Amino acid sequence: MQSNTRLGIGLMIATTFVFAMQDGISRHLAREYNVMMIVMIRYWFFGAFVMAIAGRQAGSIRAAARTTQPALQIFRGLLLAAEICVMVLAFVYLGLVESHAVFACYPLLIAALSGPVLGEGVGWRRWVAIAVGFLGVLVILQPGITVFQPTAVIPLIAASMFALYGLLTRYAARRDSAATSFFWTGVSGMVALTLAGLWFWQPMTAPDWGWMGALCLTGALGHFLLIKTYEVAEASAVQPFAYLQLVFASALGIAVFGETLAPNVAIGAAIVVGAGLFTLLRGPRGA
Protein backbone atom coordinates (compact mmCIF):
# COMPACT_ATOMS: atom_id res chain seq x y z
CA MET A 1 0.00 0.00 0.00
CA GLN A 2 1.39 3.40 -1.00
CA SER A 3 1.42 6.20 1.56
CA ASN A 4 -0.47 9.37 0.67
CA THR A 5 0.39 11.83 3.41
CA ARG A 6 -1.58 14.73 1.97
CA LEU A 7 -4.76 12.65 1.79
CA GLY A 8 -4.09 11.28 5.27
CA ILE A 9 -3.80 14.79 6.71
CA GLY A 10 -7.05 15.80 5.01
CA LEU A 11 -8.80 12.75 6.43
CA MET A 12 -7.44 13.43 9.91
CA ILE A 13 -8.69 17.02 9.78
CA ALA A 14 -12.11 15.74 8.70
CA THR A 15 -12.00 13.18 11.51
CA THR A 16 -11.29 15.78 14.18
CA PHE A 17 -14.07 18.00 12.84
CA VAL A 18 -16.61 15.16 12.97
CA PHE A 19 -15.54 14.17 16.48
CA ALA A 20 -15.83 17.81 17.59
CA MET A 21 -19.39 17.91 16.24
CA GLN A 22 -20.07 14.68 18.13
CA ASP A 23 -18.84 16.32 21.33
CA GLY A 24 -21.12 19.30 20.74
CA ILE A 25 -24.16 17.05 20.27
CA SER A 26 -23.20 15.08 23.39
CA ARG A 27 -22.99 18.33 25.35
CA HIS A 28 -26.44 19.37 24.12
CA LEU A 29 -28.13 16.06 24.96
CA ALA A 30 -26.37 15.56 28.29
CA ARG A 31 -27.81 18.85 29.57
CA GLU A 32 -31.29 17.35 29.30
CA TYR A 33 -30.79 13.59 29.79
CA ASN A 34 -28.72 11.22 31.89
CA VAL A 35 -25.17 10.79 30.60
CA MET A 36 -25.29 6.99 30.97
CA MET A 37 -28.37 6.76 28.76
CA ILE A 38 -26.89 9.02 26.08
CA VAL A 39 -23.64 7.07 25.88
CA MET A 40 -25.52 3.74 26.00
CA ILE A 41 -27.61 4.57 22.92
CA ARG A 42 -24.51 5.87 21.16
CA TYR A 43 -22.76 2.58 21.91
CA TRP A 44 -25.61 0.51 20.47
CA PHE A 45 -24.90 2.02 17.08
CA PHE A 46 -21.14 1.98 17.63
CA GLY A 47 -21.19 -1.69 18.67
CA ALA A 48 -23.04 -2.69 15.49
CA PHE A 49 -20.60 -0.63 13.41
CA VAL A 50 -17.61 -2.24 15.14
CA MET A 51 -18.88 -5.77 14.58
CA ALA A 52 -19.44 -5.05 10.89
CA ILE A 53 -16.01 -3.49 10.34
CA ALA A 54 -14.03 -5.93 12.50
CA GLY A 55 -15.85 -8.92 11.01
CA ARG A 56 -15.03 -7.76 7.50
CA GLN A 57 -11.37 -7.11 8.32
CA ALA A 58 -10.88 -10.45 10.10
CA GLY A 59 -13.03 -12.49 7.71
CA SER A 60 -15.81 -13.21 10.22
CA ILE A 61 -17.09 -12.01 13.58
CA ARG A 62 -15.87 -15.27 15.15
CA ALA A 63 -12.36 -14.61 13.85
CA ALA A 64 -12.44 -11.00 15.04
CA ALA A 65 -13.48 -12.10 18.54
CA ARG A 66 -10.71 -14.71 18.85
CA THR A 67 -8.16 -13.61 21.46
CA THR A 68 -5.77 -15.15 23.97
CA GLN A 69 -6.15 -12.19 26.34
CA PRO A 70 -9.92 -11.71 26.84
CA ALA A 71 -9.60 -10.09 30.27
CA LEU A 72 -7.32 -7.38 28.88
CA GLN A 73 -9.55 -6.77 25.87
CA ILE A 74 -12.70 -6.54 27.98
CA PHE A 75 -11.02 -4.18 30.44
CA ARG A 76 -9.92 -1.95 27.55
CA GLY A 77 -13.49 -1.76 26.28
CA LEU A 78 -14.89 -0.98 29.73
CA LEU A 79 -12.21 1.67 30.30
CA LEU A 80 -13.02 3.51 27.06
CA ALA A 81 -16.78 3.39 27.75
CA ALA A 82 -16.22 4.81 31.24
CA GLU A 83 -13.87 7.48 29.86
CA ILE A 84 -16.50 8.66 27.38
CA CYS A 85 -19.06 8.96 30.18
CA VAL A 86 -16.61 11.00 32.28
CA MET A 87 -15.73 13.28 29.36
CA VAL A 88 -19.38 13.95 28.48
CA LEU A 89 -19.91 14.81 32.15
CA ALA A 90 -17.03 17.28 31.83
CA PHE A 91 -18.77 18.90 28.84
CA VAL A 92 -21.84 19.49 31.03
CA TYR A 93 -19.98 21.03 33.98
CA LEU A 94 -17.06 22.79 32.26
CA GLY A 95 -18.06 23.15 28.61
CA LEU A 96 -16.18 22.15 25.47
CA VAL A 97 -13.41 24.74 25.66
CA GLU A 98 -12.01 23.99 29.11
CA SER A 99 -12.68 20.25 28.89
CA HIS A 100 -10.72 19.85 25.67
CA ALA A 101 -7.96 22.18 26.85
CA VAL A 102 -7.27 19.87 29.80
CA PHE A 103 -7.93 16.64 27.88
CA ALA A 104 -5.23 17.63 25.37
CA CYS A 105 -2.63 16.44 27.91
CA TYR A 106 -3.38 12.76 27.26
CA PRO A 107 -0.41 12.25 24.84
CA LEU A 108 1.85 13.49 27.64
CA LEU A 109 0.34 10.95 30.02
CA ILE A 110 0.91 8.21 27.44
CA ALA A 111 4.53 9.28 27.07
CA ALA A 112 5.05 9.39 30.84
CA LEU A 113 3.49 5.95 31.40
CA SER A 114 4.95 4.20 28.35
CA GLY A 115 8.06 3.31 30.35
CA PRO A 116 6.49 1.57 33.37
CA VAL A 117 3.58 0.05 31.39
CA LEU A 118 5.24 -0.92 28.10
CA GLY A 119 8.92 -0.83 28.96
CA GLU A 120 9.63 1.83 26.33
CA GLY A 121 12.50 4.25 26.68
CA VAL A 122 11.71 7.86 27.57
CA GLY A 123 14.63 10.24 27.15
CA TRP A 124 15.29 13.33 29.23
CA ARG A 125 14.06 15.72 26.52
CA ARG A 126 10.66 14.04 26.49
CA TRP A 127 10.55 14.14 30.30
CA VAL A 128 11.19 17.90 30.13
CA ALA A 129 8.38 18.23 27.57
CA ILE A 130 6.06 16.20 29.82
CA ALA A 131 6.86 18.46 32.78
CA VAL A 132 6.28 21.59 30.69
CA GLY A 133 2.99 20.17 29.45
CA PHE A 134 1.73 19.60 32.94
CA LEU A 135 2.69 23.15 33.85
CA GLY A 136 0.33 24.10 31.04
CA VAL A 137 -2.43 22.06 32.71
CA LEU A 138 -1.78 23.95 35.95
CA VAL A 139 -2.08 27.24 34.07
CA ILE A 140 -5.50 26.11 32.82
CA LEU A 141 -6.66 24.91 36.25
CA GLN A 142 -5.21 27.93 38.12
CA PRO A 143 -4.02 26.31 41.37
CA GLY A 144 -5.60 27.90 44.39
CA ILE A 145 -8.63 29.09 42.42
CA THR A 146 -10.41 26.40 40.45
CA VAL A 147 -8.30 23.35 41.20
CA PHE A 148 -10.22 22.82 44.44
CA GLN A 149 -13.50 22.56 42.58
CA PRO A 150 -14.16 18.88 41.82
CA THR A 151 -15.41 19.72 38.32
CA ALA A 152 -11.99 21.07 37.34
CA VAL A 153 -10.39 17.62 37.49
CA ILE A 154 -13.11 15.72 35.59
CA PRO A 155 -11.43 16.13 32.15
CA LEU A 156 -8.06 15.32 33.74
CA ILE A 157 -9.52 12.04 34.98
CA ALA A 158 -10.88 11.39 31.48
CA ALA A 159 -7.46 12.12 29.96
CA SER A 160 -5.80 9.70 32.39
CA MET A 161 -8.32 6.99 31.52
CA PHE A 162 -7.86 7.55 27.78
CA ALA A 163 -4.07 7.46 28.14
CA LEU A 164 -4.26 4.13 29.96
CA TYR A 165 -6.63 2.86 27.28
CA GLY A 166 -4.12 3.87 24.60
CA LEU A 167 -1.28 2.11 26.38
CA LEU A 168 -3.30 -1.06 26.90
CA THR A 169 -4.26 -0.98 23.22
CA ARG A 170 -0.58 -0.93 22.27
CA TYR A 171 0.09 -3.73 24.73
CA ALA A 172 -2.79 -5.82 23.35
CA ALA A 173 -1.49 -5.29 19.80
CA ARG A 174 1.53 -7.45 20.62
CA ARG A 175 -0.71 -10.53 20.46
CA ASP A 176 -3.99 -9.46 18.82
CA SER A 177 -4.84 -7.88 15.49
CA ALA A 178 -6.30 -4.39 15.19
CA ALA A 179 -9.62 -5.96 14.12
CA THR A 180 -9.76 -8.01 17.31
CA SER A 181 -9.01 -5.04 19.55
CA PHE A 182 -11.58 -2.93 17.67
CA PHE A 183 -14.20 -5.68 18.09
CA TRP A 184 -13.72 -5.98 21.85
CA THR A 185 -13.63 -2.19 22.27
CA GLY A 186 -17.13 -1.82 20.86
CA VAL A 187 -18.80 -5.00 22.08
CA SER A 188 -17.64 -5.01 25.70
CA GLY A 189 -18.49 -1.32 26.06
CA MET A 190 -21.91 -1.83 24.47
CA VAL A 191 -22.78 -4.73 26.79
CA ALA A 192 -21.60 -2.96 29.95
CA LEU A 193 -23.35 0.31 29.14
CA THR A 194 -26.57 -1.50 28.28
CA LEU A 195 -26.56 -3.28 31.65
CA ALA A 196 -25.93 0.01 33.46
CA GLY A 197 -27.68 2.54 31.23
CA LEU A 198 -31.12 0.95 31.09
CA TRP A 199 -31.58 1.87 34.76
CA PHE A 200 -31.33 5.55 33.78
CA TRP A 201 -33.75 5.51 30.84
CA GLN A 202 -35.64 8.77 30.23
CA PRO A 203 -38.21 9.56 27.54
CA MET A 204 -36.80 11.78 24.79
CA THR A 205 -38.54 14.35 22.63
CA ALA A 206 -38.76 13.81 18.87
CA PRO A 207 -36.21 16.58 18.08
CA ASP A 208 -33.75 15.12 20.56
CA TRP A 209 -34.14 11.68 19.00
CA GLY A 210 -33.02 13.42 15.82
CA TRP A 211 -29.96 14.73 17.63
CA MET A 212 -29.41 11.26 19.05
CA GLY A 213 -29.40 9.86 15.53
CA ALA A 214 -26.89 12.52 14.50
CA LEU A 215 -24.71 11.58 17.48
CA CYS A 216 -24.68 7.93 16.42
CA LEU A 217 -23.91 8.80 12.80
CA THR A 218 -21.06 11.18 13.67
CA GLY A 219 -19.57 8.53 15.94
CA ALA A 220 -19.57 5.90 13.19
CA LEU A 221 -18.40 8.41 10.56
CA GLY A 222 -15.58 9.66 12.77
CA HIS A 223 -14.23 6.16 13.37
CA PHE A 224 -14.61 5.27 9.69
CA LEU A 225 -12.60 8.35 8.70
CA LEU A 226 -9.97 7.51 11.33
CA ILE A 227 -9.60 3.99 9.95
CA LYS A 228 -9.20 5.39 6.43
CA THR A 229 -6.66 7.92 7.70
CA TYR A 230 -4.34 5.23 9.01
CA GLU A 231 -4.86 3.16 5.87
CA VAL A 232 -3.43 5.85 3.60
CA ALA A 233 -0.79 7.54 5.79
CA GLU A 234 1.65 6.79 8.58
CA ALA A 235 0.42 7.59 12.08
CA SER A 236 3.46 9.76 12.84
CA ALA A 237 2.64 12.03 9.89
CA VAL A 238 -1.03 12.64 10.73
CA GLN A 239 -1.18 12.36 14.54
CA PRO A 240 -0.15 15.99 15.22
CA PHE A 241 -3.27 17.13 13.35
CA ALA A 242 -5.46 15.31 15.91
CA TYR A 243 -5.01 18.41 18.10
CA LEU A 244 -7.33 20.26 15.74
CA GLN A 245 -10.21 18.66 17.62
CA LEU A 246 -9.38 21.09 20.44
CA VAL A 247 -9.67 23.99 17.98
CA PHE A 248 -12.92 22.79 16.39
CA ALA A 249 -14.56 21.89 19.72
CA SER A 250 -13.56 25.23 21.25
CA ALA A 251 -14.94 27.14 18.28
CA LEU A 252 -18.20 25.20 18.60
CA GLY A 253 -18.38 25.87 22.33
CA ILE A 254 -17.90 29.60 21.81
CA ALA A 255 -20.18 29.97 18.76
CA VAL A 256 -23.05 27.71 19.80
CA PHE A 257 -22.98 27.38 23.57
CA GLY A 258 -21.78 30.86 24.48
CA GLU A 259 -18.61 29.71 26.19
CA THR A 260 -15.62 32.00 26.60
CA LEU A 261 -11.92 31.44 26.06
CA ALA A 262 -10.18 32.75 29.18
CA PRO A 263 -6.57 33.91 28.73
CA ASN A 264 -5.23 31.28 31.14
CA VAL A 265 -7.03 28.53 29.19
CA ALA A 266 -5.63 29.74 25.85
CA ILE A 267 -2.08 30.04 27.21
CA GLY A 268 -2.25 26.73 29.06
CA ALA A 269 -3.69 24.90 26.05
CA ALA A 270 -0.93 26.29 23.82
CA ILE A 271 1.69 25.01 26.27
CA VAL A 272 0.07 21.57 26.50
CA VAL A 273 -0.30 21.22 22.73
CA GLY A 274 3.28 22.40 22.11
CA ALA A 275 4.65 19.89 24.61
CA GLY A 276 2.46 17.15 23.19
CA LEU A 277 3.65 17.81 19.64
CA PHE A 278 7.24 17.61 20.83
CA THR A 279 6.68 14.20 22.43
CA LEU A 280 5.00 12.96 19.23
CA LEU A 281 7.88 14.18 17.07
CA ARG A 282 10.49 12.61 19.34
CA GLY A 283 8.94 9.17 18.76
CA PRO A 284 8.43 6.36 21.30
CA ARG A 285 12.15 6.04 21.94
CA GLY A 286 13.16 9.65 21.46
CA ALA A 287 16.03 10.96 23.54
Cα separations (Å) of 222 from 13, 85, 111, 216, 229?
11, 18, 25, 10, 10
pLDDT of 34: 95
Q: Say how far apart CA 203 and CA 32 lie, in whole Å.
A: 11
Give how many domains the chain has, as a whole number.
1
pLDDT of 33: 95
pLDDT of 19: 93
Q: Is residue 55 assigned to a domain?
A: yes
| pLDDT < 50 stretches in the chain | 146-147, 285-287
| Threshold 0.85, pTM exceeds | yes
pLDDT of 121: 66
Q: Is residue 287 assigned to a domain?
A: no
Q: Say how far apart CA 209 and CA 43 lie, in whole Å.
A: 15
Q: Is residue 176 assigned to a domain?
A: yes
Q: Is residue 44 assigned to a domain?
A: yes
Range of the domain at 37: 5-282
pLDDT of 238: 79
Report the sign of the C-alpha dihedral through residues 87, 241, 98, 252, in that order.
Answer: negative
Over residues 203-233, the pLDDT tens digits come to 999 999 999 999 999 988 988 888 888 778 7
Q: Is residue 173 assigned to a domain?
A: yes
Listing DSSP states for 147-199 in one string gives TTSGGGGHHHHHHHHHHHHHHHHHHHTTTS-HHHHHHHHHHHHHHHHHHHHGG
Q: Is residue 275 assigned to a domain?
A: yes
